[in-house]
A and B are shown apart, each in its own frame.
Chain A
Amino acid sequence: MQRSVRTPYDRVVMAVPVTIPYVRYSIESAQWWISRALKALVDGAGITPRDIDGFCVSSFTAGLDSGIGLTQHFGLCVRWIDTIPLGGASAIAALRRAARAVQAGDARIVACVAGDTNHVDSFRHTLENFSRFNQDAVYPYGAGGANASFALIARNYMRTFGARREDFGKIAVAQRSNALRNPHALMKAPLTIEQYMSARPIADPLHLFDCVMPCAGAEAFLVMGEDIAASLKLPAARILATIERHNAFGDDPVQVRGGWAMDIDELYAMAGVQPDDLDFVETYDDYPVISMMQFEDLGFCKKGEGPDFVRQHDLTIDGTFPHNTSGGQLSVGQAGAGGAYLGVVEALRQVLGLAGSTQVRNARIGLASGFGMINYDRGLASAAAILAGSGA
């Protein structure tokens, strides 16, 4: 294994995994949802809002507000602040920024939050204002969302690597099975592979159960010095390694790999572990094909071997390769930017042994990855993190 040149995440930890249960439609604002997560963070940590001196927020529906407006809205006085618009990579990006700030002494306790509401027209509004390239060169084609873009990617992936709908279905079905153990998952009905296969088409080859359900919700965690976590008596996780890469492989005609493929060796080198050492993986599952791509790019198999990997493994909580143990976005729901945090917060719970009914037995080390911002024809943002609990 190569040696890493990256500075280790010494003396900084993650604590207090927070999920504000999702609802399909909410009349509240994003600010309201973000504030619920902040409240849960301070209550969970046994601190007051005044103790938060770092704040990082991600949201698609906060309208006119970025992080700075929210400081006054919520009564936070901070010496470190960031607003991260990286879609599904926002949580790990937030983690990376906050951890370095705490390490450098620029902040003591950083709240990392993502929250989004879902009004009946939220989704359309988000799509219309997603990015300039999207406005100019995708939205006018009737895509109305990422479905068409990912359909093109999925179809190419199937043609190129021989993935079948059944392979994607297996991922979705396993996640639904996991979600049935998650009382907060919005999808409550079991899903069989037959139901997956016969579901109505959305944009070939994507059918109903390939798509997440947009909803309202919030997710959050705290990043703080190891010593502070100890003084507060908080279960805390270490960050073994992170990577982040944007707009990688721009010359690939159609996206078949994400940025992780460029830096994955560095992730494991920095963490000092191998892929086999991981007890669970939380991929960013906006579509099953992207999860399959992550299995390849995160080092679990070679490029193109994703279909076979899925066929060979049991992806449920108690299976051979526990994956998206809370049910993932496909079964829990996608609460806007909260979707970036869903896997990271679940990973934090897993390594802290706080996952309750979705707990992977003896989980100590796990990987969470993020992906997103399909600016035009491919997801630009990618990130991954390996977390470890105290037992690791």
Chain B
Amino acid sequence: MIEPIARPRRKNPLLRTRLPTSPPGARSRASHGFTRAAAEGRFMLQRCDACGTFCYPARDACPACLSADLAFADAPRRGTLLSETTLHIPADVHFRERAPWRVGLVALECGPRLVTHLHADCEEGMPVVMSFQLDKSGQAVAFAQPERETPNMTDDRQWREMTADPKFRRVLVTNGRSIVGQEMVAALKAAGASIVFVGIAEPWKPFRGEDALRAQEGVEIVPLDVGDEKSVADLAADIGGKVDILVNTTEHVRAGGLLDRQGTSVVRDEIDQSYLGFVHLAQAFGPAMRMRGSDGVNNAAAWVNILSVYALANWPVFGAYSASQAACLSLSHCLRAELRPGGVKVVNVFTGPLDIEWFQTVPPPKVAPRAVATAIVSALKRGLEDVFVGDVAEDIRRRLAANPKAVERELGA
């Protein structure tokens, strides 16, 4: 039976902040097949191409037939909990701080046995559903949940460690001028965020949706121009220690590539807003978030970037935009590594063209701003790291996996 999480009280300013520790993070290369699966919310195991056997842990030869063709494939999640134990005195600092901690041994229906973290409602002998989650070292670990839904399920203490659930957390949405930003605010409030700070640049310029934004409970509009380093630093000085989740909703979309533009003033804006904005936000908010990765129920948990899927493959019609997104994607990997010691996830949400003004002439399918917001809340609740929203993003992802050169040519046609 899970007790629902209590709303956290105000932080005691006289107490030292507990610093983040990391669970053991070493993994073999083959094991990173699970990292990829966990990042995307898939359950994958190595399956022998020659004899079809699923095996675990990750390895370099099939234990049934010694074949080396052990590609990772989506696998059935169902299993039975064979045995469980509660660790009262773990040897490792990270788990010792979190003791008692429950682990178990699950036999998957498809064959292998997994040592796994356990949701508190899992019972020995009963069926469980498995997933791979990214733990606070950013590495994949197995997690078992009961097959049937139980009350307050997402409040499970061990599950909350693996995810970045907005419930009771304080969120900064960096840009509330855009529809995506406004939908994000609404979705976060609905998901139980205690307060949502919404950044507005150039407050002297009115924008659509402003009144509705101001009218919401638990939503605080703050001045934030991500292109201005002082604006970002000043906001961080005010609320930096209260940002548990940061959602970067900076939106600067302009059509055009290289040869159809004159000069670099638009490019400079793209770089200023998207790339430098990212740098400013990271420098101003990153250190405090990293330090607060273990700071109670509402610890710092995630940084979310909304990126165009064309960060992965340039679409020349929006060529300059694609390039600035690609630059931001690379930065996000840097940030991911730098925030990892704090146990703070960097979540990249890739979308195809959004259903907004700047993609007006692009034919459907386009992604509704609300769908982006929903996908982000879902990613936070599931602890995902790489999310593809909508048909176009999924299409590009698959085509890139199959043949990147074909994607390049087809996008450039």
Q: Chain A interface (Cβ within 8 Å of chain B)?
A: 123-124, 127-128, 132-133, 135-145, 147-149, 151-153, 155-156, 159, 200-206, 250, 253-254, 376-377
Pairwise interchain contact B103-A253, C-beta atoms closer than 8 A:
no
Which residues of the other chain, A, contact B63 by a CB distance below 8 angstroms?
250
Pairwise interchain contact A136-B101, C-beta atoms closer than 8 A:
no
Pairwise interchain contact A253-B107, C-beta atoms closer than 8 A:
yes
Pairwise interchain contact B57-A140, C-beta atoms closer than 8 A:
no
Pairwise interchain contact B91-A144, C-beta atoms closer than 8 A:
yes
CA of A143 to CA of B117, assembled, Å: 10
CA of A139 to CA of B23, assembled, Å: 9
Known A-B contacts A254-B105, A377-B115; A142 and B90 likewise in contact (beta carbons under 8 Å): yes
Nearest first, the 10 closest Cβ-Cβ pairs linking A and B are: A144-B91, A142-B95, A151-B85, A137-B57, A156-B83, A152-B83, A144-B92, A136-B31, A201-B88, A139-B24
**Would you list which residues of chain B between 258 and 314 have a CB under 8 Å from chain A?**
none
Closest partner residue, chain A, to B23 (CB atom)? A140
Pairwise interchain contact B87-A203, C-beta atoms closer than 8 A:
yes
CA of A260 to CA of B57, assembled, Å: 25
Pairwise interchain contact B103-A155, C-beta atoms closer than 8 A:
no
Pairwise interchain contact A153-B83, C-beta atoms closer than 8 A:
yes
Pairwise interchain contact A143-B90, C-beta atoms closer than 8 A:
yes
In this complex, the member of A135, A144, A153 whose beta carbon has the largest number of chain B beta carbons within 10 angstroms is A144
The listed residue (A142, A200, A205, A250) touching B103 by CB distance below 8 A is A142
Map CB proximity to A onto B83-111 as digits: 1 under 8 Å, 0 otherwise: 11111111110110010010111010000
Known A-B contacts A143-B90, A204-B85; A128 and B113 likewise in contact (beta carbons under 8 Å): no
CB distance from A80 to the nearest CB of B (A): 31
Known A-B contacts A143-B103, A152-B105, A159-B124; A136 and B84 likewise in contact (beta carbons under 8 Å): no
CA of A136 to CA of B45, assembled, Å: 14
* A-B contact sample (20 more), CB < 8 A, given A144-B92, A376-B57: A123-B91, A124-B91, A136-B58, A137-B57, A141-B117, A142-B23, A142-B90, A142-B94, A142-B95, A143-B115, A144-B90, A144-B91, A147-B91, A152-B115, A155-B124, A156-B83, A159-B83, A203-B87, A205-B85, A377-B105
Which residues of the other chain, B, contact A377 by a CB distance below 8 angstroms?
105, 113, 115
Which residues of the other chain, A, contact B25 by a CB distance below 8 angstroms?
140
Which residues of the other chain, B, contact A144 by a CB distance below 8 angstroms?
87, 90-92, 95
CB distance from A223 to the nearest CB of B (A): 35
* Secondary structure call for the A interface: helix
Pairwise interchain contact B90-A133, C-beta atoms closer than 8 A:
no
Pairwise interchain contact B28-A141, C-beta atoms closer than 8 A:
no
Whether a CB of chain A sits under 8 angstroms from the CB of B56 is yes
CA of A149 to CA of B87, assembled, Å: 11
Which residues of the other chain, B, contact A206 by a CB distance below 8 angstroms?
85
CA of A40 to CA of B298, assembled, Å: 60
Which residues of the other chain, B, contact A200 by a CB distance below 8 angstroms?
88-89
Which residues of the other chain, B, contact A132 by a CB distance below 8 angstroms?
28, 57
CA of A274 to CA of B115, assembled, Å: 39
CA of A138 to CA of B135, assembled, Å: 14
CB distance from A324 to the nearest CB of B (A): 24
Whether a CB of chain A sits under 8 angstroms from the CB of B333 is no
CB distance from B165 to the nearest CB of A (A): 21
Pairwise interchain contact A142-B28, C-beta atoms closer than 8 A:
no
Which residues of the other chain, A, contact B82 by a CB distance below 8 angstroms?
152, 156, 253-254
Which residues of the other chain, A, contact B57 by a CB distance below 8 angstroms?
132-133, 136-137, 376
A–B complex contacts, Cβ < 8 Å, 11 sampled = A140-B141, A141-B115, A142-B94, A142-B103, A148-B115, A151-B87, A152-B104, A155-B84, A200-B88, A253-B82, A254-B105
CB distance from B107 to the nearest CB of A (A): 5
**Would you list which residues of chain B between 1 and 46 have a CB under 8 Å from chain A?**
23-28, 31
Known A-B contacts A142-B90, A148-B103; A137 and B115 likewise in contact (beta carbons under 8 Å): yes
In this complex, the member of A139, A148, A376 whose beta carbon has the largest number of chain B beta carbons within 10 angstroms is A148
Pairwise interchain contact B24-A128, C-beta atoms closer than 8 A:
yes
CB distance from B28 to the nearest CB of A (A): 5
Whether a CB of chain A sits under 8 angstroms from the CB of B174 is no
Known A-B contacts A144-B90, A202-B89, A254-B105; A376 and B83 likewise in contact (beta carbons under 8 Å): no
Pairwise interchain contact B24-A137, C-beta atoms closer than 8 A:
no
Closest partner residue, chain B, to A378 (CB atom)? B113
Which residues of the other chain, A, contact B107 by a CB distance below 8 angstroms?
253
Pairwise interchain contact A142-B83, C-beta atoms closer than 8 A:
no
Whether a CB of chain A sits under 8 angstroms from the CB of B137 is yes
CB distance from B52 to the nearest CB of A (A): 17
**Would you list which residues of chain B between 41 and 80 have a CB under 8 Å from chain A?**
56-59, 63
Which residues of the other chain, B, contact A124 by a CB distance below 8 angstroms?
91-92
CA of A87 to CA of B410, assembled, Å: 58
Pairwise interchain contact B141-A203, C-beta atoms closer than 8 A:
no
Pairwise interchain contact A203-B91, C-beta atoms closer than 8 A:
no
Closest partner residue, chain A, to B101 (CB atom)? A142
CA of A253 to CA of B85, assembled, Å: 16
CA of A133 to CA of B87, assembled, Å: 20
CA of A119 to CA of B88, assembled, Å: 24
Pairwise interchain contact A148-B87, C-beta atoms closer than 8 A:
yes
Whether a CB of chain A sits under 8 angstroms from the CB of B324 is no
Which residues of the other chain, A, contact B182 by a CB distance below 8 angstroms?
none
Which residues of the other chain, B, contact A152 by a CB distance below 8 angstroms?
82-85, 103-105, 115
Which residues of the other chain, A, contact B91 by a CB distance below 8 angstroms?
123-124, 127, 143-145, 147
Pairwise interchain contact A142-B85, C-beta atoms closer than 8 A:
no
Which residues of the other chain, A, contact B58 by a CB distance below 8 angstroms?
136-137
Known A-B contacts A132-B28, A253-B107; A204 and B23 likewise in contact (beta carbons under 8 Å): no
In this complex, the member of B24, B28, B137, B139 whose beta carbon has the largest number of chain A beta carbons within 10 angstroms is B24
Whether a CB of chain A sits under 8 angstroms from the CB of B116 is yes
Whether a CB of chain A sits under 8 angstroms from the CB of B114 is yes
Known A-B contacts A141-B141, A144-B92, A152-B104; A128 and B26 likewise in contact (beta carbons under 8 Å): yes
Which residues of the other chain, B, contact A142 by a CB distance below 8 angstroms?
23, 87, 90, 92, 94-95, 98, 101, 103
Known A-B contacts A143-B103, A152-B104; A136 and B115 likewise in contact (beta carbons under 8 Å): no
CB distance from A120 to the nearest CB of B (A): 12
Pairwise interchain contact A136-B83, C-beta atoms closer than 8 A:
no
Map CB proximity to A onto B108-128 as digits: 1 under 8 Å, 0 otherwise: 000001111100000010000
Pairwise interchain contact B83-A254, C-beta atoms closer than 8 A:
yes
In this complex, the member of A127, A139, A149, A376 whose beta carbon has the largest number of chain B beta carbons within 10 angstroms is A139
Pairwise interchain contact B83-A135, C-beta atoms closer than 8 A:
no
